[in-house]
């Protein structure tokens, strides 16, 4: 199995991560894109652009709003997990319950024992299928807590190679299926947390959902192969290959964002001659689609029109563009196209 190659790929990515200034701001689009792709595996259709436009005041259909709400919850759970790690730097069952409560708040599945381990039998199958027709039936409710107890012990064990341990932990979590809903998304949130706990990452920012979403059928088939055939070797090999490919993709994306930041910083400093230019730029990296009113609330800028003047100079230089003109009380909406293209991995249309 390619354990050495996977470790090297993660290590190389982490080396870059250590040298990114303000990673929470610069890598924010990647974090939101992870939330988009992980939720898409479960059937949502919203894009990164949809989420950011929604947060900038765009109106969508109720169905699309529901999708966006799930994505925003996922992102909130990621941020909350990092906060919890500052108190107790380890994954534990109470953390998992709190993250689940955040993940499912006010969205589909909110009424399914949110934040609580299941006490009834669940199963996976086609809509309307009976348990006899299920493609997967997890352990009975009375086995959930004992299984989670063993799972938690394994998290803190040091006997296995860390990435193999992670592959096993992720699969075990999905097999235990401890909640009535949201298990897949929560299981994917735990991946960067474990890498952070083990010291393989300097920040819990490493996402596999892009690979899992692109190989969705194999992802589920490999998990079913464990419960059906005991094929752990096939699953671990799949997981390690996913780690290698995604580490490379994450590195390339992070490098592109860092290089964009450096280039744009130099341009904006020359363009504006303002001490506030970097604060405005950092805001755009944090929210690459943003309405004009948000610029009036940037911390540290006393004259709130200063940020908008800087923004207009950036627009004249082609760095940002207006994607919705202000009308009445509705503020104008701006986008940072080059950053959006990197984050989504494609040419984004703002028509």
Q: Do 297 and 259 form a contact (C-beta atoms < 8 A)?
A: no
| Structural domain ending residue among the three candidates 227, 252, 277 | 252
User: Would you call 213 helix, strand, or coil by DSSP?
Assistant: helix
pLDDT at 341: 96
User: HSE on the CB side for 182, CA within 13 Å?
Assistant: 33
pLDDT at 351: 66
**Whether residue 329 sits in one domain with residue 199:** no
Which distant-in-sequence residues (6+ apart) come within 8 Å of 128 by Cβ?
none
pLDDT at 299: 75
Q: Which residue segment(s) compose the domain that 130 sits in?
A: 3-252
Please tell me the pTM assigned to this model. 0.94
| Residue 262, domain member (yes or no) | yes
Low-confidence stretches of the chain (pLDDT beneath 50): none
Please report how the helices 216-229 and 232-272 are oriented relative to each other, as an axis angle in degrees rounded to 10.
150
Closest-CA residue to 215 (of 40, 73, 19): 40
pLDDT at 260: 97
pLDDT at 160: 79
d(CA 88, CA 282): 29
| Residue 350, domain member (yes or no) | no
Give the helix ranges, DSSP H, for 273-323: 277-286, 292-295, 304-316
| Residue 349, domain member (yes or no) | no
**Whether residue 327 sits in one domain with residue 245:** no
Q: Identify the CATH number of the domain in which residue 226 sits.
A: 1.10.3290.10
> Residue 297 is inside which H or E element, if any?
none
* DSSP result, 264-277: HHHHHHHHH--TTH
d(CA 165, CA 238): 14
pLDDT at 240: 98
d(CA 287, CA 339): 10
């Amino acid at each position: 199995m390619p354990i050495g190659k996977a470790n090297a790929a993660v290590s190389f990515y982490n080396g870059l991560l250590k040298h990114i200034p303000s990673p929470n701001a610069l890598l924010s689009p990647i974090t939101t894109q992870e939330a988009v792709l992980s939720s898409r595996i479960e059937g949502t259709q919203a894009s990164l652009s949809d989420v950011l436009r929604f947060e900038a005041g765009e109106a969508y259909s109720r169905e699309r709003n529901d999708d966006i709400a799930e994505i925003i919850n996922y992102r909130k759970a990621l941020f909350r997990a990092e906060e919890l790690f500052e108190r107790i730097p380890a994954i534990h069952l109470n953390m998992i319950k709190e993250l689940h409560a955040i993940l499912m708040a006010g969205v589909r599945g909110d009424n399914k024992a949110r934040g609580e381990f299941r006490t009834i039998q669940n199963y996976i199958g086609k809509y309307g299928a009976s348990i006899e027709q299920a493609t997967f039936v997890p352990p009975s409710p009375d086995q959930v807590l004992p299984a989670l107890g063993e799972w938690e012990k394994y998290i803190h064990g040091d006997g296995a190679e860390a990435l193999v341990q992670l592959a096993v932990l992720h699969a075990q979590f999905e097999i235990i299926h401890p909640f009535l809903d949201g298990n897949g998304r929560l299981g994917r949130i735990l991946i960067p947390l474990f890498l952070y706990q083990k010291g393989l990452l300097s920040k819990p920012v490493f996402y596999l959902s892009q690979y899992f979403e692109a190989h969705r059928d194999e992802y589920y088939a490999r998990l079913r192969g464990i419960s059906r055939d005991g094929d752990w070797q096939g699953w671990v090999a799949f997981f390690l290959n996913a780690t290698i490919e995604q580490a490379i993709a994450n590195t390339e994306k992070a490098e592109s964002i860092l290089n964009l930041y450096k280039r744009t910083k130099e341009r904006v400093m020359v363009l504006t001659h303002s001490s506030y230019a970097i604060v405005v730029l950092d805001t755009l990296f944090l929210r690459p689609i943003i309405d004009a009113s948000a610029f009036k609330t940037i911390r540290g800028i006393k004259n709130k029109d200063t940020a908008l003047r800087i923004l207009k100079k950036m627009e004249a230089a082609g760095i940002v563009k207006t994607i919705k003109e202000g009308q009445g009380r509705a503020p104008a909406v701006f986008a940072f196209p080059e950053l959006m293209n990197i984050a989504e991995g494609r040419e984004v249309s703002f028509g």
